[in-house]
Structure 1
Amino acid sequence: MRDHLRRPPANDPSRGAYKEWLHVNAFDHETGVIALVNVSVHGDPDAQASRAVGAALVHVPGVGWAGNAEVVPANAVGTDVLTLATAGVAVAVDPSGARVAARARLPRDQVDLSLEGVPVGPELSATSVMPFGSGHLGWAVYPRLSVAGTLGLPGRTVTMDGAGGYADHNWGRWWWGDDAGWDWACWHAPDGVLVVFSRMTNRAHTTTGLVLLTVEVRGRVVRFVDDQVLVETSGRLWPSRRLPGALAALHTDRTAERLPSRVVVHASNGFDALDLEFDVRDVAQLVMAEPAQPGFAFLHELVGAFRCVGLIAGVRVDSVGLGVVERAG
């Protein structure tokens, strides 16, 4: 799958609603460390009010979150065919999908991250575009990755060699604050099982649109859609980290956001089946501000461990691993 940035042309009347980002997750099964790296652009790339966010968050079991998010003018972002970079955080994808790189230098937070991933699985999906809020959302998912690199963290350094990885690319036109949201998840097991979940919702997550669960095991890919997938949540957790700090301080009413401590997924299409149980260890909240008009959205990153069992394309699955669930709205 070849891909590229979707920056708006000069004559695009919807430039103000432009959004685009590159996203990388890394799962170090040996230490339980999970890294989330994202660079995003919000609004007309040439408008003075538009902003870009470079976020690098690392969760260490028993310690918590390290890292931060930096907010810069959108016209300060470095770009290439499929690269987005702020001063401190960068994500680059080979346009053919053959390599993915993530870099973060946040000296005030004592975080220095350098990761590179290469595909070790089949292509998960072609590029898709779907209605979202007042506009649309595009999504390109890259294959399961093998990730190597280093994470320099406060008080320790983690060396990754063959860690699990996932990357995707999103773009579109909408306003933060629209009556729209999503639930997304990536669960990665060291035995090669990868599960990716997505569904569109309203902002309150009381209604859902398209539901897709993709399971990859031993080079075989099976997809479950809509009513073939049942998601149940239980328990309650609150964000232990909220950022960017200045924006989070403006929204103290969201400090007690109710989020599940457990997510259970059941999927069946009559031939294939999967049951997955995800226990959440911690939650981070990112506040997304709309630069072109009043409006906010909140992205919650839930990290933890999972187990799944089932039968996928004739292969028995009984796997454990690490994952992240993202809830936006």
Structure 2
Amino acid sequence: MLDHLRPPRADDPTRALYKEWLHVNVFDHASGTVGLVNLSLHGDPAAAPSRAVGVALVRVPGAGWSGGTQVQGAAAAHAGVLELAAGDVAVAVAPWFGAGHAAARAAVADADVSLGGPAVGPPLGPSWDVPFGEGHLGWAAYPRLALDGVVRAAGRRLVVRGAGGYADHNWGRWAWGDDVGWDWGCFHGADGLLVVMSRTTDRAHRVTGDALVTVEHAGRVAQFVGPQVDIAVDGVRHPSRRFPGAMAALHADRARDRLPARVRVRVGDGFDGLEVVLDVDDVAQLLLAEPSRPGFAVLHESVGRFRAVGRLAGRPVEAHGLGVVEHAG
């Protein structure tokens, strides 16, 4: 079954809690640049308070973050089968028969991103549809893309050819501000190793659900879940940039949120095993308001370089690359 957007029906009693978004990451190993483009819908699409939020963030080594957010009424959004566009941000994913294509376009503040390319690895999903807050959270991922295009950020113009890419689709029903959150990460190796991890949490990230970690290397896919996964953090990083400005000013008490300076993901099932260690270079903070009631959530995007060592299919693995970890709650 093909993935697709899941807008609420007119008779859906939970439509006020509707959430949906499409997301693309780029990992350019040649320059060390990590970027993301995201477009999300929040609330009943027919209600005036509902919002479409576009995000473009690019982190260039030595230059920090470029980009920001673009917030509009949900009525400004245009939707296709698996496409969203609003204002100066658009994301599209076209999966079919285990293959597909993704594209992202955004011009927000001082970041301009235009990327597209084919899926060059298997999709993961729809792999999640779990209870979450007052409703549920669904997730489908397209974790290995080869992206071409142009990224303008920090006064530079970067042409990418075959850069590492990741895309996903989230949907569900919940209220920002409920006692829910998630941890998600994508680690893209310069030599081809790919690791994706995800788990639901409470808002404080003290209580966690079972983690799912997928490892792809040399054509082999291995998945680890629950007690086969250990995620640990160390050190402290604070956000260096906060978006959007109005929400950041309203919640000035969150300016010094403590995020890990190092994230370690260790997996093993008695046959395969891997340890991935991400050293965080920088953190951006996104604040999202709940349109249906008072409440908000904070998403932190932590980017850096990782190293990995382990054994897969009886063969030793040692890799390094770029990664991003998202803490939401």
When normalised by structure 2's length, the TM-score is: 0.97
Aligned letter for 2:277? E
- For 1:166 and 1:180, the matched residues in 2 are separated by 24
Alpha-carbon distance, 1:154 to partner = 3.6
Aligned letter for 2:268? S
Paired position in structure 2 for 1:118: 118
Structure 1: where are the runs of 5+ without partners? none
Alignment partner of 1:138 is 2:138: yes
- 1:222·1:313 contact (CA, 8 Å) conserved in 2? no
- For 2:313 and 2:167, the matched residues in 1 are separated by 24
Q: Deviations over 1:253-287 (max 9, x none)?
A: 00010011011121111111001110000000000
What does residue range 144-159 of structure 1 map to in structure 2 within 5 Å? Answer: 144-159=144-159
Paired position in structure 2 for 1:271: 271
- For 2:81 and 2:231, the matched residues in 1 are separated by 37
2:209 is paired with a residue whose SS is strand
Paired position in structure 1 for 2:257: 257
- For 1:55 and 1:122, the matched residues in 2 are separated by 26
Alpha-carbon distance, 1:128 to partner = 2.5
- For 2:292 and 2:122, the matched residues in 1 are separated by 39
Paired position in structure 1 for 2:328: 328
- 1:81·1:95 contact (CA, 8 Å) conserved in 2? no
Paired position in structure 2 for 1:232: 232
Alpha-carbon distance, 1:95 to partner = 4.2
Paired position in structure 2 for 1:101: 103
- 1:101·1:116 contact (CA, 8 Å) conserved in 2? yes
- For 1:63 and 1:154, the matched residues in 2 are separated by 6
- For 1:50 and 1:131, the matched residues in 2 are separated by 23
Q: What root-mean-square deviation, in Å, do the aligned CA atoms of Structure 1 and Structure 2 show? A: 1.1
Alpha-carbon distance, 1:288 to partner = 0.9
- For 1:42 and 1:72, the matched residues in 2 are separated by 11
Paired position in structure 2 for 1:20: 20
For this pair of structures, how many residues does the alignment match?
327
- For 1:102 and 1:176, the matched residues in 2 are separated by 25
- For 1:110 and 1:249, the matched residues in 2 are separated by 20
- For 1:143 and 1:284, the matched residues in 2 are separated by 22
- 1:29·1:322 contact (CA, 8 Å) conserved in 2? yes
- For 1:323 and 1:215, the matched residues in 2 are separated by 14
- 1:199·1:212 contact (CA, 8 Å) conserved in 2? yes
1:9 is paired with a residue whose SS is coil
Q: Deviations over 1:81-133 (max 9, x none)?
A: 11111111110111425110000123xx2322100021111233444300111
What does residue range 165-244 of structure 1 map to in structure 2 within 5 Å? Answer: 165-244=165-244
2:284 is paired with a residue whose SS is strand
Paired position in structure 2 for 1:47: 47
- For 2:143 and 2:322, the matched residues in 1 are separated by 17
Alignment partner of 1:292 is 2:292: yes
Paired position in structure 2 for 1:81: 81
- For 2:55 and 2:149, the matched residues in 1 are separated by 18
- For 2:143 and 2:295, the matched residues in 1 are separated by 34
Paired position in structure 2 for 1:315: 315
- For 1:30 and 1:127, the matched residues in 2 are separated by 31
Aligned letter for 2:317? V
Moved more, 304-313 or 119-128: 119-128
Aligned letter for 2:256? A
- 2:35·2:58 contact (CA, 8 Å) conserved in 1? yes
- For 1:188 and 1:314, the matched residues in 2 are separated by 21
Q: Deviations over 1:223-258 (max 9, x none)?
A: 111111111111111101100111111000000100
Aligned letter for 1:260? P
1:207 is paired with a residue whose SS is coil
- For 2:73 and 2:314, the matched residues in 1 are separated by 51
- 1:248·1:287 contact (CA, 8 Å) conserved in 2? yes
Aligned letter for 1:103? R
1:224 is paired with a residue whose SS is strand
Alpha-carbon distance, 1:219 to partner = 1.4
Paired position in structure 2 for 1:29: 29
- For 1:218 and 1:95, the matched residues in 2 are separated by 22
- For 2:125 and 2:13, the matched residues in 1 are separated by 30
Alpha-carbon distance, 1:38 to partner = 0.3
When normalised by structure 1's length, the TM-score is: 0.97
Change (3 A) 1:19 1:60: same
Aligned letter for 2:16? G
- 2:102·2:167 contact (CA, 8 Å) conserved in 1? yes
- For 1:245 and 1:201, the matched residues in 2 are separated by 27
- 2:125·2:139 contact (CA, 8 Å) conserved in 1? no
